[in-house]
Amino acid sequence: MDERERTGPEICATDAARIAFKTADVAGLRLFYREAGDPSKPTIVLLHGFPSSSYQFHDLIPRLADRFHVIAPDYPGMGFSDAPAPTVLRPTFDDVTMAIDAFIAQRAPGQSSCTCTTSAARSECASRRPTPSGSPA
C-alpha cells in the first residue's frame, strides 16, 4: 500500500469530524443544518435540490471548510428539519425562500456569502454582499 492509500481514510475521518450537526429556530421553525469551518472566513451556504437534504454535500463540506465557513441547511419539511403545518409555512418556493433567507441572516449576519443551489434542472450561484444598511446588494 502506498502512502496515499494509507493516509486517505485518516484524512477523510478527520475532515468529517469537523462537520457540526446543529439546529436553528427561525421564524418559529426548527431547521437542521451542517456547519464547518471558521465563521470569520467568507461564508458559503449550500442549498440542496428537491427532494433532497444537506446530506448531498457530506463530501463537499470538508473540502471547503479549510478556506470557508460552510453552512448547509435542510429546507423546512426535508431532511432533519421540522415539517411545519401548511398554516405555519405554505409549501411554496416563496415561503421556503423566506425561511432560508431568515436562516442565512441569522447564521451569517453581515458577512459576504455565496449561496449555491442545486437541482436536477439547474445549478446556480448568487453572491450576497451586505450594503451599508445591512441588506444584501
What DSSP element (H or E) covers 8?
helix 3-17
- Per-residue confidence (pLDDT) for residue 93, from 0 to 100: 84
d(CA 79, CA 76): 8
**Does CATH number 3.10.450.50 belong to domain 3-128?**
no
For residue 74, the model assigns a pLDDT of: 94
Q: How would DSSP label each residue in 56-92?
A: GGTTHHHHHTTTSEEEEEPPTTSTTS----TTTS-SS
What's the whole-model pTM score? 0.70
List the chain domain ranges: 3-128
- Give the contacts of 54 (CB within 8 A, at least 6 positions apart): 32, 33, 34, 46, 48, 72, 73, 74, 79
What is the per-residue pLDDT for 61? 93
What string of pLDDT tens digits covers the 137 residues of the chain?
443 333 333 334 344 448 999 999 998 899 999 999 998 889 889 988 777 899 989 899 999 999 999 999 999 988 999 998 888 888 788 888 889 889 988 988 776 545 555 543 333 444 444 444 444 44
Residue 62 CA neighbour count, 13 Å, CB half: 13
